[in-house]
Structure 1
Amino acid sequence: MRIPDPAEIRALHEKHAPTAEAFGLVHTHCEVVWGIAEQLLSAPHLAHLDADLIRAGCLLHDIGVYRLYDDQGQLDHRNYIRHGLLGHEILEAEGLPEVLRRFCSHHTGVGLTREDIVAQGLPLPPADYLAVTEEEKLVMYADKFHTKSRPSVYLSADEYALHVARFGAQKVAAFEALRAQFGDPALTGPVPGFRPENRSAAAAGRA
């Protein structure tokens, strides 16, 4: 399987981004997530993972967010939960393989189950959207440490654990399992690569 390189993925973002502001917000977030994943990959016990695949997964995982912007550049927060599935559809239309499309549709939270969707009345086809491979799990995990609604700062592991606790103890346990598997990244200072123009769109997104 041929994996697209960062320049090709950036071109896809530019193609689908409705505005320069949306591109800056989403693509920067994806780059930040890759930076976090790359740091975690330096652990010897993760050396067997496919770094190129993880890089592509990180850089592509949120591309579906672009489809949630309206003609006025406003983000549809009510249907934000759909961004993963929308990204899966974008990559399918672009002819990218399922192994890459799954990084979009299977990274939300610490995984969505059919039961979650039915019980919460989420606007998604009832199914399990769970990270299965180690590469999928690492992309999902790295995504938890940065949010597009606070683009110039990281989220700590404890902050995310507190956030996910509102969805139940099982979600906290799932996050802690990922934490035990991959470790805590060292996150200090401002987010690398954050551009000032993103501040105007900061309130429009979330991880």
Structure 2
Amino acid sequence: MTGYIPTLDQIDELHRRIAPSEAAYDLIHTHCVIVAQIACQLARRQNALFMRRCTLPSDAPELSPAAAPAAPASDANRIAWTVPPTGGVEGGKVPPRLLDEHLVMIGGLLHDIGTYKVLKHDGTDGEPLKFSGKRYILHGLLGYEWLLEQGVDESIAQFARNHTGVGLTRDEVIRQELPLPPADYVPVNLEQETVMVADKFHSKSTPPKFLSVDAYTAKAARFGEENSRKWLALVDQYGRPDIAAMAEKYHMRMV
């Protein structure tokens, strides 16, 4: 370990340090909180399946408050970390090992921090927030490099680098002539893969929205049938979170 593992308060400070405006912080930080919550649900389901070595009932209780991650200090302008009291995950297969839920939570909260750097209208120019379509593919690498510059450990920075799509390979970078150094931008452990999967269930569109499994399947298919097959295999492994309950909790639409 060459860097530090940020606390929840430090994660919030990192978001505020890089955010060009309050509007950008609200959009991107909220997305990261949502993804972290979904990722923790997926990780919890995987761990329950691993421990029981059998199918977990769909009505299994959520993590007890005593076992939930500690919440950050209150702030009227920040979005507190909370473990969703509703919902759950259906399906899923036994993983090869237990997942580190705390690492999943931290990675989820920081995975999209590079998107602050690919805003075309960042909230400071009086225009609505808008991402640069041409530069957006760079957000994972930019977030990774920025986190390392801030002294964050490589193991955490990799969550930013390795979450795009369903795993962006070197061959895909070259074949699609993407503006990235030829390399594999894919999860290197189960925790990173969990965050990558959770990220597909929410979009920072205007306005933000939640995506069902079918909605992301259709989106993935636009980049080739192999992408949609990879996505459905991931859903088969990690299960289906209750996205409708999350959409209701955040008062956002689901497609």
Structure 1 length-normalised TM = 0.87
Partner of 1:176: 232
Amino acid at match of 1:14: R
SS at match of 1:167: coil
Q: Which whole-Å deviations, capped at 9, do the CAs of 1:105-148 have from their partners, x for residues lacking one?
A: 10000011111111111110011111121101000000000000
Partner of 1:12: 14
The CA deviation at 1:152 is 4.5
Bigger mean CA offset, 71-80 vs 11-20: 71-80
Partner of 2:67: none
SS at match of 1:8: helix
* Gaps in structure 2 of 5+ consecutive residues: 52-97
Partner of 1:52: 102
- Which of 38, 42, 45 is 2:44 aligned to? 42
Separation in structure 2 between the aligned mates of residue 145 and residue 90 of structure 1, nearest angstrom: 25
Greater helix fraction, Structure 1 or Structure 2: 1
Bigger mean CA offset, 167-176 vs 144-153: 144-153
The CA deviation at 1:68 is 1.6
Separation in structure 1 between the aligned mates of residue 219 and residue 130 of structure 2, nearest angstrom: 24
SS at match of 2:11: helix
- Which of 130, 151, 159 is 1:103 aligned to? 159
Q: How many residues align?
A: 195
The CA deviation at 1:21 is 0.6
Larger radius of gyration: 2
Q: Is the 8 A contact 2:5 2:153 kept in 1?
A: no
Partner of 2:217: 161
Residues 1:194 and 1:95: Cα distance change in structure 2 (over 3 Å): farther
Residues 1:99 and 1:182: Cα distance change in structure 2 (over 3 Å): same
Bigger mean CA offset, 89-98 vs 62-71: 62-71
Q: Is the 8 A contact 1:151 1:191 kept in 2?
A: no
* Gaps in structure 1 of 5+ consecutive residues: 196-207
Say whether residues 1:22 and 2:72 are aligned partners. Answer: no
Separation in structure 2 between the aligned mates of residue 160 and residue 33 of structure 1, nearest angstrom: 15
Q: Is the 8 A contact 1:28 1:193 kept in 2?
A: no
After TM superposition, where is structure 1 displaced by more than 4 Å over at least 4 residues in a row? none
The CA deviation at 1:150 is 5.2
Q: Is the 8 A contact 1:110 1:140 kept in 2?
A: yes
Separation in structure 2 between the aligned mates of residue 46 and residue 27 of structure 1, nearest angstrom: 31
Residues 1:150 and 1:184: Cα distance change in structure 2 (over 3 Å): farther
Structure 2 length-normalised TM = 0.71
Say whether residues 1:117 and 2:173 are aligned partners. Answer: yes
The CA deviation at 1:75 is 2.8
Separation in structure 1 between the aligned mates of residue 131 and residue 33 of structure 2, nearest angstrom: 20
- Percent of aligned positions that are identical: 43
Bigger mean CA offset, 144-153 vs 59-68: 144-153
The CA deviation at 1:153 is 3.1
Greater strand fraction, Structure 1 or Structure 2: 2
Q: Is the 8 A contact 2:43 2:104 kept in 1?
A: no
The CA deviation at 1:69 is 2.6
Separation in structure 2 between the aligned mates of residue 69 and residue 144 of structure 1, nearest angstrom: 20
Amino acid at match of 2:103: L
